Structure formats: C-alpha cells, structure tokens
C-alpha cells in the first residue's frame, strides 16, 4: 500500500501518484517533466468549464491525418496542470493556431525548431492570474506555464510530435515547453493589441505566433526614440536571423520603453514604421555571410555563388545594393509586457512564410463560437 500523507485534512496516496506519473512517462505522454494524472472526474470538471461539444474539432494537421478535439485539448490541459477555468483559453489558442498556415505545412516537425507562442489580452488575464508584468518568459505563474504547456502536450500526445521522431528540430527552443504571456495593458500608453485588431477592450483574445527565439534588448542608455528604434532594428537585421528572403518580428516593449516612445509623441504605428525603415543591410554585408541571394527552390537565403542561387527581390530595384529585410511595416508588431523596472525589452523572432503574410499572427476570441 502506498504511503499516505495528510494535506489539509485530505489523505493522499503519494506512492500511487508517483506510480501514475511513471506510467505516463513510460508511455511517452509527457514533455519530459512529470504530468498530472487525469481521471474521468477530473476530465468532467474541465469539460464543464466550456459549452463546447467534446467532439468539436479544433485543429487538424492534414498530412498527419490527426485532429485535436475539445475533449483531447481538455485531457492535455489537465495533464499540463491547468485548472479547469483555463480550458476556454486553451481552446481559443488551438483555434488561433488553426488559422496559422505553418503547422499545416509541417513547420512544427521542421529542423528549424519553431514553437507556438501565445499572447493573451483582455479581462481573462486577471480572472485566471495570467502574468503580464514581470518575468513574463520565466517561471512562477501557473496560468502562463500550464496553458502554454497544454499546447505542447497536445502536439506530442495528439499529433505525435515527439523529439527524434516526427519532431526533427535540430536544437529546438525553450519555447517548446511553454510560451504564453499576457499583454501589460494597464501600464501601456497605447490601446492593447486586441483592440488594435478590432476587438472590444472587454473581449478576451488569444493571439498565436510561430516563433524561433526571444532576444532581449538591453537599452537603459537613451531617452531618444530614434536611438531606441535603431537598437531594435539592429537586432532584427542581424544576418543569423535571416532565413527566408524576408523576416518578421514582434517587439515586446517594457512599459519604460513604451513610455519613452509615447512621450515623444510616437504611436505604435510610428514605432513600427521607424523600425521598418531601419531594417536594411548593404548587400556587401550580406555577401560576407553568404546570404546575398536566395534559393530557386525554397527562397531561403544563400550565397550568390551557390548553384541554386537567384537574385532576391531587391536586386531588380533602383537600390540593388541596399537590401530591405522586411516586406511590410506590419512585419513588425508592437505590444507591451513586462515590469516597469528597467529598460529591458525583447524581440521575438517570428517565423513567416515566403512570401510572408501581411500580418504574421492569428487571433481567436475566448469563448466565441466557431
């Protein structure tokens, strides 16, 4: 018989729980970390948190011939350690992901090592305790950690995206465990991201990106908006981030940087345009790293000396020796998140198709019917 422990008056068989965790691990139902054992009563509590039919299909990967339903999303949310009240967010996240073209083309299986990245807006953040104000990419907040993890566990358990098997990431990213943040709407000088996209401030919305990495920008040295815009642009235009002919990025500004821009009279669109105009490289610098042309087959960047090389889009313009690396101003997105205690913002490297979409993200309203 397992060892019984007393927790707030409740007798718990700790050995039985540990055995269940080992059982799940041996069957590959985890992301490498222990998961929460799920019973029918636990699943029922999750399904009671939504009015969606358990058999509703949320997302399909056609080439794998596999789909995730509300029931399967709930099981994996429970495994991840979510509370039942998080399930509407998880459902909306899957529906936002379903609007992304990348997973349908196998990008989650790719050697590139991409991961889903979720941004949550609206009142739901406060209702479930989702962090938006400090250590947003770090530990300490159950909603952030488990909602993002619920997506990863769904990828593994429903779609079979196990490392070394269908998931062929060369190095991967920590975001493959969990990547879910809230926007710090309360300390932003601008309208929140979901309002920018036509939702009401009272709506709760999930935005889904496909990302590769998060790069922090230490910028405590200036009060000039132009200098700060240049700092972000320089980080985006580094040659190591240039895969396809064009790229995209999400600027996650801390309140201090957002206020710096706003105090100078800059809107989000002004920030976006200023960074967009600065994300250019001389072709000679691209040639130095072997990325001054693109592939006939994939449009990925490579050397003009490569047998598969063809000129990039800029080569036929009036300024062939100065290469813009973004396709649209909207290839730069701007939001506010993090604590108001230092000038440390971040650039989230967003993986986009080639040719890229005008907006490199998809959105879904929490609680909305499909």
pLDDT of residue 124: 98
Task: Output the average pLDDT for the chain.
Answer: 93
- Range with lowest mean pLDDT among 167-171, 209-213, 366-370: 366-370
- Range with lowest mean pLDDT among 77-91, 184-198, 201-215, 340-354: 340-354
Reply yes or no on whether the pLDDT at 318 is more than 90: no
- Mean pLDDT to the nearest integer, 249-277: 97
Domain ranges in the chain?
Answer: 11-279+325-365
- 198 Cβ contact partners less than 8 Å away, ≥ 6 residues apart: none
Reply yes or no on whether the pLDDT at 354 is more than 60: yes
pLDDT of residue 207: 98
Q: Are strands 115-121 and 180-182 parallel, antiparallel or unpaired?
A: parallel
pLDDT of residue 156: 97
Q: DSSP letter string over 9-38?
A: TEEEEHHHHHHHHHHHHHTT-SSSS-----
pLDDT of residue 9: 63
> Which pLDDT tens digit goes with each residue over 48-66?
999 999 999 999 999 999 9
- Range with lowest mean pLDDT among 70-84, 280-294, 313-327: 313-327
Helical (H) or strand (E) element with 206: strand 205-218
What is the C-alpha to C-alpha distance for residues 367 and 365, in angstroms, rounded to an integer?
Answer: 6
> Which pLDDT tens digit goes with each residue over 175-232?
999 999 999 999 999 999 999 999 999 999 999 999 999 999 999 999 999 999 999 9
Reply yes or no on whether the pLDDT at 1 is more than 60: no
pTM assigned to the model? 0.94
């Amino acid at each position: 018989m397992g060892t019984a422990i007393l927790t707030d008056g409740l007798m718990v068989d700790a050995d039985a729980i540990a055995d269940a965790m080992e059982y799940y691990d041996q069957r590959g139902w985890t992301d490498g970390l222990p998961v929460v054992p799920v019973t029918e009563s636990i699943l029922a509590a999750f399904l009671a948190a939504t009015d969606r039919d358990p058999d509703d299909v949320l997302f399909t990967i056609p080439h794998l011939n596999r789909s995730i339903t509300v029931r399967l999303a709930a099981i994996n949310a429970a495994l991840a350690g979510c509370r039942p009240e998080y399930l509407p967010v998880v459902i909306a996240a899957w529906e936002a992901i379903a609007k992304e073209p990348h997973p349908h083309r196998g990008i989650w299986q790719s050697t590139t090592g991409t991961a889903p990245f979720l941004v949550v807006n609206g009142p739901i953040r406060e209702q479930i305790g989702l962090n938006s104000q400090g250590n947003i990419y770090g530990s300490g907040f159950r909603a952030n950690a488990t909602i993002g993890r619920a997506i990863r566990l769904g990828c593994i358990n429903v779609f079979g995206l196990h490392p070394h098997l269908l998931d062929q990431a060369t190095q991967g990213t920590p975001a493959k465990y969990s990547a879910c943040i809230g926007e710090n709407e309360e300390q932003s000088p601008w309208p929140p991201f979901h309002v920018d996209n036509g939702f009401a401030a009272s709506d709760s919305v999930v935005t889904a990106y496909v990302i590769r990495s998060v790069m922090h920008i230490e910028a405590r040295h200036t009060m000039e908006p132009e200098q700060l815009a240049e700092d972000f642009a320089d980080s985006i235009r580094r040659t190591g981030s240039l895969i396809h002919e064009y790229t995209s990025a999400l600027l996650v500004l801390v309140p201090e940087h957002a206020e710096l821009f706003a105090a100078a009279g800059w809107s989000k669109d002004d920030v976006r345009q200023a960074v967009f105009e600065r994300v250019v490289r001389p072709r000679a610098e691209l040639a130095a790293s072997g990325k001054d042309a693109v592939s006939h087959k994939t449009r990925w960047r490579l050397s003009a000396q490569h047998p598969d090389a063809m000129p990039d889009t800029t080569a036929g313009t009036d300024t062939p020796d100065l290469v813009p690396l973004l396709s649209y101003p909207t290839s730069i997105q701007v939001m506010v998140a993090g604590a108001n205690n230092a000038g440390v913002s971040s650039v989230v490297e967003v993986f986009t198709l080639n040719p890229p979409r005008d907006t490199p993200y998809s959105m879904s309203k929490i609680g909305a019917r499909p």
